[in-house]
Amino acid sequence: MNAEESSALVVVVNDPRDLAHALQDGWYRIPLARAPARIAVEHLAFYQTGAFPEGERWLVRWYAAVQDYRIVRRSELLPDEPDHPRAADRYYRVGLGPGVALPCPIPNRRLRRITFIPTTLSRLLAAQEINDLWIKAGVRERMWQALQQAGLDAEYQVEIADGPAPYTADFVLPCRDGDIVVDIESSDDIALSLHEGRVTYPVEGAAHPDPRRARLRFCGQELDGFIAQLLFMVKERGGTV
């Protein structure tokens, strides 16, 4: 495997002390109860939240090669905190090589909520913003590339939570006068359907949507025409924000 295609996982760092442990002490901790399904990767990268100082928050700046995994108690990792409420909880202790600064930090431009992001080293090295890190298969990757080439500033894998039955949209284009949601359909019988206001949700019984939101469905055909439709809609809605 090409070294740049090696696997990576972006983890969320809510405490600057945890980043210090990773970069200075050579280990990072992930709670066993909240770990992603795929934990075995070749690199960890670190998303720095709002807990960091100005200029160091809401971005990925550092990564490190993974050397080993162990399962330990929190009290073993942080012996100075024996009375912590989670002292007995189990964690993955991820042994790390030296920290490496990315050529360019990867910003979270719209401050979207981040959890774990499975990605690759090549994406880490090339990403210009956080949405570039997600691995998108097949038609989703083609859509993402087409959106980028058209200058359409989209978010990938966004939770739509208008009510008690939220779902994850493939792409969202936040516009001044209402968002545009793009969903990739698996069937081939509909190339494109546009629903203004009254959105048909993929989750049966979902709540009524925001009436200002539009939804587009794409099934893999006529990508150029689909992008042209999106460009027209974005212009009508005052541009992206």
Pull the structure tokens for residue 9: 């996982």
Whether residue 106 is predicted with pLDDT greater than 70 in this model: the reply is yes
Mean pLDDT computed over 58-87: 95
Mean pLDDT computed over 179-201: 51
Report helix, strand or coil for 129. coil
94 and 66 Cβ atoms separated by less than 8 Å: yes
Mean pLDDT computed over 55-76: 96
User: What pLDDT does residue 2 have?
Assistant: 56
| pLDDT tens per residue across span 122-139 | 999 999 989 889 877 778
Mean pLDDT computed over 155-184: 83
User: What pLDDT does residue 201 have?
Assistant: 36
pTM over 0.75: no
Whether residue 197 is predicted with pLDDT greater than 90 in this model: the reply is no
CA distance linking residue 102 with residue 106, whole number of Å: 8
